[in-house]
Amino acid sequence: MATQQEREAFLRGWRAAMEEALAVLSTEAGEWREEEAEASESGAYKLPGSFALEEVQGSFRGRQELLAWITQIGPAASKGNDPELARALDALIENSATDADRTLLGLTPMPPEAASSDAK
């Protein structure tokens, strides 16, 4: 199990990586929107790429918000010193969280079909 300092360093790194990814995606999406507008005005055909970038950006935002909810504002945030909470967070980070871990973190248990597709 990771130490508290290791966990905090990992979470700081996760937040920084999410923020960097969001900034890059925002820039890329803006460039795609401009290219799509130019192609539309000129009558040229261009596949819409900004939609895909916005979807990816939404996924990164969702991960960032999930981390904030678990560690800062969700029901588990007030139990920050609970060693079981730290272990459950480690399991979630390692993609090995059980339904009990997810419940401890204030998350909904995984539906059976989602859990089986993760195992593949």
25 and 1 inside one domain: yes
pLDDT digits (tens, 9 = 90+) for 35-88: 878 878 887 766 666 667 777 777 777 777 777 777 788 777 777 778 888 788
Domain that residue 5 falls in? 1-73
- The alpha helices in the chain, defined as continuous H runs, are 4-42, 50-68, 83-93, 99-104, 112-119
Closest CA to 106 of 8, 90, 79: 79
The pTM of the full predicted model, rounded to 2 decimals, is: 0.46
Which of 73, 94, 109 terminates a domain? The answer is 73
115 and 89 inside one domain: yes
In angstroms, the Cα distances linking 20 to 25, 51, 72 are: 9, 19, 20
How many folded domains does the chain comprise? Answer: 2
Q: For residue 72, what is the DSSP state?
A: I
How many other CB atoms sit within 10 Å of the CB of residue 97?
21
68 and 102 inside one domain: no
98 and 116 inside one domain: yes
